[in-house]
Amino acid sequence: MLTLVTGHAGFIGFHVALRLLERGDMVVGFDNVSDHGDLTLKEARLAELADRSGTLPGRYISIEADLTDAAALARCFDRYRFERVIHLAARPGIAFSVAHPDATVAANIVGFANLLEACRVAAVPHLTYASSSSVYGASRRLPYSEHDPADHPLQLYAATKRANELMAHAYSHLYALPTTGLRFFTVYGPWCRPDLALYKFVEAICAGRPVELMDAGRHSRDFTYVDDLVTALVALSDDIARPDPNWRGEAPDAATSSAPWRVLNIGSDRPARVTDYLDAIEAALGQKAIRRDQPRQAADMPDTWADLTEIRSAIGYEPSISLDEGVARFVAWYRSRQ
C-alpha cells in the first residue's frame, strides 16, 4: 500500500511512518522540516526512517515542502497515486498558538484546506487526520465522548483542530471523500518533542533544575503511549469511513454523519494526575525532582479523559502500555541519546 504521511519528521508522524514501513508498506513523507522545535531531533527521526526503510527503491521517499504551498502539494499528488493519506503535520502546541496565531492558522487551516482539495482531486480512498482532545475545551462532562458537542475551545490550537473536523465534513458531504478525524489524548513516548511535559520534566531533573508544575500538578491527563496510538491509527486508516445509516438530521449525532465522516477518541482510558506522572518519571530516573508550583494557565484544560467506547467497537482497540512502563521506555531512550 502507498501511503502519504504528512509531518513525518514530527513525533507521531515519525512513529506512524516507521510502523507502515515495518509492515511492508511504501511511504511518502511530506514535511517542511521547520526549525520550530528541535531541528536536530527532526533530522535524527528522518535519518532513522531512511535507515529502517531498507534497500528497496522507492519504498520510502521524503519530500521537504510546506502544505501551505498548494503547487508543491499538487505536484506530489500528480506523481504518486496514494491509497491512504495520514495527515499529522501541524503547528502543535497550545502556548505556541497563543503567541503565534498567524503561523498556527496558516499551518493548521490553510495547509489542511490544501490537503483536502488535493485528496478530492485525486479521489483518495481515505484521509485520516489528527484532531485533538483539546477540542472538548470548556466541557467538564467526563469521560469525553465523541457524541457530545465540542464547541467551546479554550485556545486557538483547539479551535483550528475543531475547524479541521468541520472542514473535513464539508468535503465528505460534497465529494464523498471518506475522512476520519482522531482526537489524540496527551501522547508521550520516545522521540517526543522537547516542549512536551515528559521531555521537559526529565531534562530538568537530570540537570538539577526545578520542575514547573502548573496548578501544583493537580490536574489529570489521559496519558497515551505512542505505540498504542499508532496501532489504533494505522488500523483506523485501513478501516475506511462510511456513512452512518442511522444518522438523522432531526437528532444529529456529533460523532458520525450521513456522509463518510467520523471522529474518534484515541486515549488510554486511564487518566492520571500530573503528580503521578512525575512520580513515574522519578522512579524511572531513580532521582527526585525539585518541584515548583505555578498557577494554571487560562488556555489549559483542567482534566482530560477519553471515552473509548467507539474506537473499541470500531477496531477492538485496547491500550496495552501502562504509564510506568511507557515512562521507563522514554527514559531509556533519552539516556541512549545523551
DSSP string, 104-123: HHIIIIIHHHHHHHHHHHHT
- What is the domain range of residue 130? 2-185+225-267+306-320
The whole-number pLDDT of residue 252 equals 96
DSSP code, position 331: H
The whole-number pLDDT of residue 95 equals 84
Encode pLDDT of 167-207 as tens digits: 999 999 999 999 999 999 999 999 999 999 999 999 999 99
pLDDT higher than 80, residue 92: yes
Determine, yes or no, domain membership for 29: yes
Please state the rounded mean pLDDT for residues 126-146: 97
- What contacts 128, CB < 8 A, 6 or more positions away? 84, 85, 86, 87, 179, 180, 182, 233, 236, 237
Residues in a beta bridge with 262 = 180
The x, y and z cell numbers of residue 336, run together, are 541512549
Catalytic residue among 129, 144, 157, 171: 157
30 in Cβ contact with 63 (< 8 Å): yes
Look up 157 and say whether it is catalytic: yes
Domain count, the chain: 1
Determine, yes or no, domain membership for 247: yes
| 338 or 77, which is more confident | 77
Cα gap 305→145, rounded to integer Å: 9
Determine, yes or no, domain membership for 210: no
Please state the pTM of the whole predicted model.
Answer: 0.96
Nearest-CA neighbor of 93 among 45, 37, 42, 21?
37
Determine, yes or no, domain membership for 332: no
Determine, yes or no, domain membership for 208: no
Peptide bond connecting 252 to the previous residue in cis, omega within 30 degrees of 0: no
81 in Cβ contact with 103 (< 8 Å): no
Determine, yes or no, domain membership for 285: no
**Residue 263, helix vs strand vs coil:** strand
Task: Find the CATH number of the domain harbouring 21.
Answer: 3.40.50.720
What are the DSSP E strand ranges found in the chain?
A: 2-6, 26-31, 60-64, 84-87, 127-132, 179-184, 187-188, 210-214, 220-221, 224-225, 261-266, 272-273, 290-294
Cα gap 317→132, rounded to integer Å: 18
